[in-house]
Amino acid sequence: MGKKLIITEKPSVARDLARALGKFSNKKEYLENEQYVISWAVGHLVTLAEPEDYNKKWKMWRLALLPVIPDTFKLKAISDTKERLKVIKKWMASDEVEAVVNACDAGREGELIFRNIYQNTGCEKHVFRLWLSSMTVPAIREAFEKLKPGDEFDRLGAAARCRSEGDWLVGINGTRVFTARFKVLLSVGRVQTPTLAILVEREREVQNFTPVPYWEVFAEFRAEEETYIGKWTAKEDRVYKEEEASSLVAKVEGKEGKVDEFSDRKSREAHPLLYDLTELQRDANRRYGFSARRTLHAAQRLYEGHKVITYPRTDSRYLSKDLGSQVEKCWKMLGQCGFSEITRTSFKRRSALADRRVFNSSKIRDHHAIIPTGEKINWDSLKADEYKVMDLIAKRFLSAFLPDAVWAHRRIKTVVENEVFLSRSKVLEEAGWRAAYGEKPLTAGKEFLPVVRESEKVITERSWSEHKETKPPPRYTEATLLSAMEAAGRFVEEEELREALKSSGIGTPATRASIIERLIEVGYVEREGKTLFPAPKGMELIGLVERIPVPELASPQLTGEWEKKLSQIESGHCERKQFMENIKRLTVEMVEKVKEKEDTGEREKMNQPVGKCPLCGAPVLENRSAFGCSRWKEGCSFTLWKRVLSRQITRVQARKLVETGRTDKISGFRSKKGRRFSARLVLQDEGKIGFEFDAPVRSQEANQKGKKPKKTGRSDKKKNLQVEGRETQGKEKEKRES
């Protein structure tokens, strides 16, 4: 009997499967035992071919050559990962292998990664699908006992291909036609452009906002031995003339009033829903200022590396009832890992399973909510980001199985000289689920209104007014932008499309972080602390899209239509061919509209300088491949290539370099030997650009012994390495010199 070849999305997952499935020999490029061979991708090994791979003339970004629409889409191996693909291809062709197991991430993108590899290698062997939501050993073994035929996921694969090919058509043609027409690099896409439009619309509201002054009137009342403060209200709780506010203050000052109404009631607050990825990213941004990408990276390490949380790239906030025993295990584990005070009461499994805010299988599509796996958490082994994200997940999980929080509400309506003043207080009486976050009841003090009787006489001890102004709507943070992307249906007028977006929004939980980072990378959006706001280039692009007009690009409507159709493809109610014909027609219409638009100075408006040239002081402008001096025709040589040692340099980083002489530390550079490293880019003599490395920190142990730490391949002094870039036959090359 032949072996099964297991293909995972990442090397770490391959090692996890090997630990669960028995003893394996490590052959460096694969793992093997008598039943299985396990090999791995590193994300996408195969992608859609570039336009020039179909026809050499399509390498040129010319209006006359657009639109680019291949008859049949081709695949190509990604150059950096060809050796990895060879290993998989060899085993797929091997006579020792009788079947292949798709063990890539359970979802649309994981399905696409595997199917592209399978197609590119020409394999025709039978395929099974492994569907995992947890990386614990029991979960892996159980999933292998329930392997499903790969063809059961053909509709999911078809939807994945449609999404990939559709984005290629709109992205390639949109970016090329806008860039060629207006002579400035303009990246356009189905997902990133409507996301940018959301930010631009808010920025317009902020810029066009005119503050309106107003006054609020307050009074402090004495009822027997107690005092309380009330706020004047009529149809509104404010007045727009200072004289009117002063008149109200004088009218009630020192006067007697009475309690017209008094209410004392309690309300119950149910626990929040469990985390999906978007809510986790929102919470981490609100509490810690984490970017969406930073939260995702920490969660992925907790899932793959530490095995302490379930699959993080989920869009569900519910659990299925068959997870009851795992939930109980998690409760007990957390009691042993720092939460004994919260878990001192025994877990009530029956009542927990009856809670539809936790257990609701109808709200789960691919994966359930993010929860701990039940494996013991070694807090000391977690890095700072991992610690904070794990703490959030643990507390959210615990809160779901604690009682409701109880709030005490008091409301007093006081009438003085026929003027009405309202007083309200809301105080936590029983912490309930809020105890998981360290909150405690507070039923006394200034925050709580006193008990008064209706018709009781009160004296106005003092009154005053406060001058305020209306405020513009706040700019988006990553937390609020993620919410807007998730609820993008509210930006769409058509009800059916709004409903389609209700369940999907713009992007997916797994891709929204990269969408935001992409907008920053191409210079459309800037980040300042937690706040995101569109750069001038981003503002101009959306204005241009609206003027042409190409409304589909600037509205979530296109995404809504796609998500609706992709869901129908997955369910068998729409054909892949029909979907792709519609996308091709849309692409042709978009290209023709842009070609017809006259250039009325858009290039100058968009290509704002990133700063002054360090050599001659002229503006530094952006083009398709670099940030360079605008006086290059006069011989100024200053150039910062956009791609340096495999790392994309953003507009924000370019501006920092030319303004201050150095960037912040940038991660993701790759040396000629393939090693990744972090460094700052710095300006050197004659406008050349180099690397600056931090000195390695001597370990405490080495310092105690008076010895130097082991060499790590870097000098313990800062080094500056010169980097130059130039284009040869249309391709960028980077060169590093000592």
Residues 311, 107: Cα–Cα separation, whole Å: 11
Q: Where do you find CATH 1.10.460.10 in the chain?
A: 164-208+476-604
Query: Do you find a cis peptide bond into 67, omega within 30 degrees of 0?
Result: yes
Total number of residues shown for the chain: 738
Domain 277-399 classified CATH 1.10.290.10?
Answer: yes
Own/partner pairs for 687-691, CB < 8 Å, 24+ apart? 687/613, 687/614, 687/615, 687/637, 687/638, 688/722, 688/723, 688/724, 689/640, 689/644, 689/657, 689/722, 689/723, 689/724, 690/720, 690/721, 690/722, 690/723, 691/719, 691/720, 691/721, 691/723, 691/736
Q: Which two tokens stand for residue 452?
A: 């008064």
User: For the structural domain made of 213-270+405-469, what CATH number should be given?
Assistant: 2.70.20.10
Which DSSP letter does residue 340 get? T
Q: Token pair of 350, please?
A: 């029956």
pLDDT of residue 501: 61
Burial of 535 (0-12, 13-18, 19+ CB in 10 A): buried
Question: Looking up tokens 């039978």, which residue turns up?
Answer: 126
pLDDT of residue 497: 59
CATH of 3-146, one of 3.40.50.140, 3.40.50.11540, 3.40.50.2020, 3.40.190.10: 3.40.50.140
**Blockwise average pLDDT, block size 10, the chain, 738 residues:** 90 88 90 94 92 94 95 92 93 95 89 96 95 81 93 95 95 94 89 93 93 97 93 96 97 96 96 95 95 94 92 89 88 94 86 90 84 94 96 97 95 97 95 94 75 95 96 94 82 63 73 91 87 90 90 80 85 92 94 88 77 93 87 92 86 88 86 83 91 65 40 36 36 30
Whether the Cβ atoms of residue 689 and residue 683 lie closer than 8 Å to each other: yes
* Residue spans in the chain of domains classed CATH 3.40.50.140: 3-146
Q: Which residues are catalytic?
A: 311
β-pairing, 25-26 vs 31-32, is antiparallel
- CA–CA distances in Å: residue 460 to residues 71, 242, 251, 465: 82, 21, 11, 14
Residues spanned by CATH 2.70.20.10 within the chain? 213-270+405-469
Partnered with residue 316 across adjacent β-strands are: none
Range(s) for CATH 1.10.290.10 in the chain?
277-399
- What does the alpha-carbon distance between residue 181 and residue 61 come to, in Å, rounded to a whole number? 10
- CATH architecture, range 164-208+476-604: Orthogonal Bundle (1.10)
Tokens of 533: 């706001």
Q: How far is CA 125 from the centre of its chain?
A: 37
The pLDDT, as a whole number, for residue 713 is 37
Q: How far apart (Å, rounded) are the C-alpha atoms in residues 689 and 578?
A: 51
